[in-house]
Amino acid sequence: MAQTRTIHSDPTQNETSHEDDLLCSNPQQNQEEQSSSSSEVDVTTSLIGSPGKYLSGESRVERAWAHWNKLGRPKFMVAPMVDNSELPFRMLCRKYGATAAYTPMLHSRIFTENEKYRNQEFTTCKEDRPLFVQFCANDPDILLEAARRVEPYCDYVDINLGCPQRIARRGYYGAFLMDNLPLVKSLVEKLASNLHVPVSCKIRLFPKLEDTIRYAKMLEDAGCSLLAVHGRTRDEKDGKKIRANWDAIKAVKNELRIPVLANGNIRHMDDVQSLLEETGADGVLSAETLLENPALFAGYRTADWVADNEEGNVVGKLDQAELLVEYLKFCEKYPVPWRMIRSHVHKLLGDWFRIQPHVREELNAQSRLTFEFLYNLVNQLRELGVKVPLYQKDTSAAQNSAEA
C-alpha cells in the first residue's frame, strides 16, 4: 500500500462546492496506510543537531555544508510551483533524474489554522527526499508554528522571498518583502534559532548587483543554510522573454560561504550543464520546462529545443502522453486535488491538443474528472494518430565521432 504522510483531518471537511478541489480519491480509502506511514517516519534522518541559536557564523557554515554533503549534494531540483510541484509530480520527476524537490509554496498562516488545507496541500512519502518545504510568510511566530509541523518530514524549511505575482503583493510576502529587509532577517533568524532542520531561502535579484550581494550576505548571516537565486528581478516576470542573469548568480555564489542554487534559462540538459559551469552553483532548479517535460533531467527535450540544423538528437523512447500516464498512476497512489491533475494534463498535452483541439474541448467540458476519463483521453489521442516525440542526444553518434 502507498506510504503517504499527511496531517489528518475529518474526511468530511474535504467536501467543497468545486469539483476540481476534491481529492482524486476518497481520503478514507488511504487513511490506514497514511496512519501507518505516520508512525514509521524516522525523524532523526532529517535532523542535523540542535537549533542554531548558539552557533557562531563559522559553525553555521560548517553545519550547512555538512548537511548538504549528507544529502549527497543533489544537483537537479524540482522548483517550487503553486499547484504543480505536488507529491505525484515530484515523484515522476525523481523517477527521471531529479535529485531533490520543493513542495508548492504553502501559506504559513493558512497552514497553521486550516486542517483541510494542510491535508490537501502537503503530502509526502519516505521516497520523497531530499525535500524542501516552502512557506510564504510575513510573521516570524506564525512561520515558526507552520515550520514545526513539517520539520520531521523534510530536509529544509524554505522561505519564499521570490514570488513576484500580484497575489504576493496583496498578501505582503515573497519578493515584496525585499522592501522590508529587517522583517526578512527576523523570519530567517526565527527559524534558524528554533528548528532542527536547516533554513533555506529562494530570492530574486535587486536591480543593482551590489544590493543583491548585500541581501544574500544578510540572509547567510541571519542563519540561512542554502540560498536559491532566481536570476531575474521582481519586475522581470516573463521568463520566456527575459533572460536570467547568470553573471549575477555567479557573483552571489562567489560571495557566499553556504551552498547556492541557480534558477533561470533551463530548457534542456545542455543548459543545466552550462549554468552549473558558468555560475559555479551547487545545483539547478527548473520549473516551467519540467511541467512540459518531467524527463528533462534524464536528458529528454521537446521539439521546441531541437534546432532544424542540429545533429545528434534522436527520437527518445518516451513521449509526453506516456509521462502523463505515469503521473496519473502516481496520483492514484498519492491522492491530490483534481485541479492539480487538470493543470498537469494541459501542460503535458498542450502540443497534442493543438493538433486535435476538440480533445481539449472535451477535457474542458468535463466538470468532474476521473482516471478512467483521462486514460481514455490519452488512448483517444493515440488512436487519432497524434505523435509528439521527445528527443535525446544520440550518445552513440557522439562516441563514434570521438573514436573517428
Give residue-wise pLDDT tens across range 168-194.
989 999 999 999 999 999 999 999 999
pLDDT of residue 203 exceeding 90: yes
pLDDT surpassing 70 at residue 399 = no
pLDDT at 313 (0 to 100)? 79
pLDDT at 51: 63
- Asked if the bond preceding 130 is cis, omega within 30° of 0, the reply is yes
* Pick among 3.20.20.70, 3.40.50.620, 3.40.50.970, 1.25.40.10: CATH of 57-294: 3.20.20.70
| Tens-digit pLDDT profile for residues 68-113 | 999 999 999 999 999 999 999 999 999 999 999 999 999 999 999 9
Lowest mean pLDDT among 140-149, 296-305, 356-365: 296-305
Catalytic residue among 24, 154, 163, 201: 163
Please tell me the predicted confidence (pLDDT) of residue 238: 72
Q: Which residue has the higher pLDDT, 309 or 51?
A: 51
Domain ranges of the chain: 57-294, 304-393
Q: What is the pTM of this model?
A: 0.88
pLDDT band at 314 (very low <50, low <70, confident <90, very high): confident
Question: Which is higher by pLDDT, 9 or 375?
Answer: 375
Is residue 136 annotated as a catalytic residue, yes or no?
no
Predicted confidence at residue 150, as pLDDT, reads: 98
Mean of all residue pLDDT scores within the chain: 87
Give the separation between CA 389 and CA 348, rounded to whole angstroms: 12
Alpha-carbon distance values, 141 to 191, 223, 374 (Å): 9, 16, 43
Asked if the model's pLDDT at residue 15 lies above 80, the reply is: no
pLDDT at 29 over 50: no
